Structure 1
Amino acid sequence: MTLENGEQRVTLNGIEHWLKVEGAENQTIPLLLIHGGPGGNHYTFERTIGPRLAENRTLIYYEQRGSGRSAQPQSEGAYTIPELIDDLNQLIQWLSYDQVDLLGYSFGGELALEYAYHYPKTVRSMVLSSPSLLTLKVTDVTQIAGFMSVVNIEMMKDIEALLSNSLPIDRVLDQIWETIDIDTVDRFLFEDQAIAKKNRQLWEQSNLPNTGLMAKALRKHPMAPPLEDRLKAIQHKVLILTGVHDRNTGMPISRIIHRELPNSQWELFYNSAHFPDLEEPEKFTELVIKFLKSL
């Protein structure tokens, strides 16, 4: 297929997915972008780091089922990893490329790894920015500790009270997310609050809410065996990018992924939290382009 810049819709597994091509004139192996959330979108990426990468690479954005500008499945539970993998595989088949590079951020990094595990020949390489491993309880612990580092004293006492009630750790985290305000979320996700404000403006401008259905379904139907037990089988060259202040997926998750993958490179961003692409865009662009050109 000859790619042309612009937005379009493609039906994958009976669900209409939003798709956008940028940088087609570069005629490189496509860099397919996988957003996080779960259930998020590419709106901010399109307007910030995306155009920088598109100066050198052909980018393909797509938004997952029920996310952003893509249509929802009929069933509220139809958001399992196998279904997301199959959607992505159908998209790559539709594009008619033998191989693609993947760039996944947050949960998108986890989905990229899952896809590469199941379809290794279709993937040339991967870039993982602040990747997640949702089935690991250390993820919940990392987030709770992260919130406690940015909340006020009253909220910290509320979290301590929740922890003392012997609730399951995921229930504690759910209650924290239900009670925090947007300023706390911004401090949690970003070191630079001026950048956090710009990100918040783009979130509001997008008018693309996260329904929460994907996260709920993924928690209810986890993959078995979990991804962390299968990482050693993924042989691709992988670049991992992590902000040292990441309070969301965190350094521990990136360290585990780097340790288990047999062919990975790990780069740290010392002035970033969960979004190094926004807080250190020059370094992010340089590392991604250098890694892809080295292939």
Structure 2
Amino acid sequence: MGLVNGEYKQYINDIEHWIKIEGAENCTTPLVIIHGGPGGNLYSFERTTGPLLSKSRTIIYYEQRGCGRSGSPDSKDAFTFKELITDFNGIHKWIGYEKVDLFGFSFGGELALEITHSLPNKINKVLLSSPSLIGLKTQYLIQIAGFMSIANPTFILEIERILGEQGTIEEKYLSIWKVADISTVDRLFFENQDFAKEYRRLTQESKMKNTGTMLKAIQNNPPVIPLIGRLKDVTHDILIITGVHDRNSGVPISNLIHRQLDNSNLILFNKSAHFPYMEEPEHFLEQVKSFL
């Protein structure tokens, strides 16, 4: 089918999905944007780097079930990778191209890898920005260490207290997030706090409410074989972009993913934390367009 710019609401797997097409006039292989979270949205990318990228590429935005402008399933358990991949497969059929490119940031990078592993013949190239591996306990340790690296003395002591309590690392991770204040979270995600303020403004403008439902569903229903054990099966051309100051998923996770993939390239952005597309947009666009 011929793609037409605009916003759409499509029922896929009984869920109303918000989809947006930009840059259809470029007639390139569609680049599907996959947001992070779990439970986030595309609002910030859609209003910062997205319009710049759509000047030369055809872009497909969609927000995952229960996220942003898309509908939500009745069950709190229906947010696993299996459902998310099935949703993407339906969106791929709606797009009407044999193959699409993927760009996933944060958790969206992990989901992009899961999609590519499950639907290899439908994916062309894959871009990952600060990808996560939430199935690994190491992921939580990296983020906790990230908090420690930018926390004030009071919060450092609170983290130490939580780590000394009984419970799993996942429970301690959630407890730390509950007591982290806004300025600490902003320092976790961004090196330049001007971008942190803009991201927070856009997040508030989007009225995003992340309840944590998707994260809990994924934690409670993990894949039988963790993604890290299946990455060797992914042979696609993959570019990984990560900020050297990323304190959320971090350079260690990107390195881990890079080492397991047979056909990937890792580029580090020296002025960025978790959001290179906002903190170094020109460099980001240059690398993305060159790769595609």
Instruction: Return the TM-score normalized by structure 1.
Output: 0.98
Q: Percent identity?
A: 53
Q: Secondary structure at the match of 1:253?
A: helix
Unmatched 5+ stretches in structure 1: none
Question: How far 1:165 moved relative to its partner?
Answer: 2.6
Q: Secondary structure at the match of 1:183?
A: helix
Distance of 2:164 and 2:75 partners within structure 1: 37
Q: Secondary structure at the match of 2:150?
A: coil
Distance of 2:51 and 2:265 partners within structure 1: 24
User: Aligned runs of 1:123-202 on 2, under 5 Å?
Assistant: 123-202=123-202
Distance of 1:159 and 1:111 partners within structure 2: 29
Q: Which amino acid aligns with 2:200?
A: R
- Moved >3 Å (runs of 4+): none
Q: Secondary structure at the match of 1:287?
A: helix
Deviation per CA, 1:21-77: give whole Å up to 9, x if none. Answer: 001110000000000000110000000010111011000000000000000001111
The question of whether the paired residues in 2 share the 8 Å contact of 1:28 and 1:58 is answered with: yes
Distance of 2:210 and 2:60 partners within structure 1: 21
Distance of 1:118 and 1:155 partners within structure 2: 41
Match of 1:24 in 2: 24
Match of 2:110 in 1: 110
Q: Secondary structure at the match of 2:242?
A: strand
Unmatched 5+ stretches in structure 2: none
Distance of 1:75 and 1:165 partners within structure 2: 32
Match of 1:88 in 2: 88
Match of 2:74 in 1: 74
Distance of 1:152 and 1:66 partners within structure 2: 34
Question: How far 1:166 moved relative to its partner?
Answer: 4.4
Aligned-residue Cα RMSD (Å) equals: 0.8
2:225 equivalent to 1:225: yes
Question: How far 1:212 moved relative to its partner?
Answer: 1.4
Distance of 2:174 and 2:254 partners within structure 1: 23
The question of whether the paired residues in 2 share the 8 Å contact of 1:240 and 1:265 is answered with: yes
Instruction: Return the TM-score normalized by structure 2.
Output: 0.99
Question: How far 1:230 moved relative to its partner?
Answer: 0.2
Distance of 1:165 and 1:78 partners within structure 2: 31
Q: Which amino acid aligns with 2:275?
A: F
Distance of 2:168 and 2:75 partners within structure 1: 28
The question of whether the paired residues in 2 share the 8 Å contact of 1:239 and 1:266 is answered with: yes
Q: Secondary structure at the match of 1:126?
A: strand
Question: How far 1:291 moved relative to its partner?
Answer: 0.2
The question of whether the paired residues in 2 share the 8 Å contact of 1:69 and 1:208 is answered with: no
Q: Which amino acid aligns with 1:144?
A: I
Distance of 2:169 and 2:218 partners within structure 1: 17
Q: Secondary structure at the match of 1:149?
A: helix
Question: How far 1:167 moved relative to its partner?
Answer: 3.1
Match of 2:261 in 1: 261
Distance of 1:152 and 1:159 partners within structure 2: 11
Q: Which amino acid aligns with 1:235?
A: T
Match of 1:246 in 2: 246
Deviation per CA, 1:73-111: give whole Å up to 9, x if none. Answer: 011110010110000011101111100000000111111
Match of 1:288 in 2: 288
204-213 or 32-41, larger mean C-alpha shift: 204-213
Distance of 1:84 and 1:206 partners within structure 2: 22
Distance of 2:96 and 2:52 partners within structure 1: 25
Q: When the two structures are aligned, how many residues end up with a matched partner?
A: 292
Q: Which amino acid aligns with 1:41?
A: N
Q: Which amino acid aligns with 1:98?
A: E
Q: Which amino acid aligns with 1:5?
A: N
The question of whether the paired residues in 2 share the 8 Å contact of 1:235 and 1:261 is answered with: yes
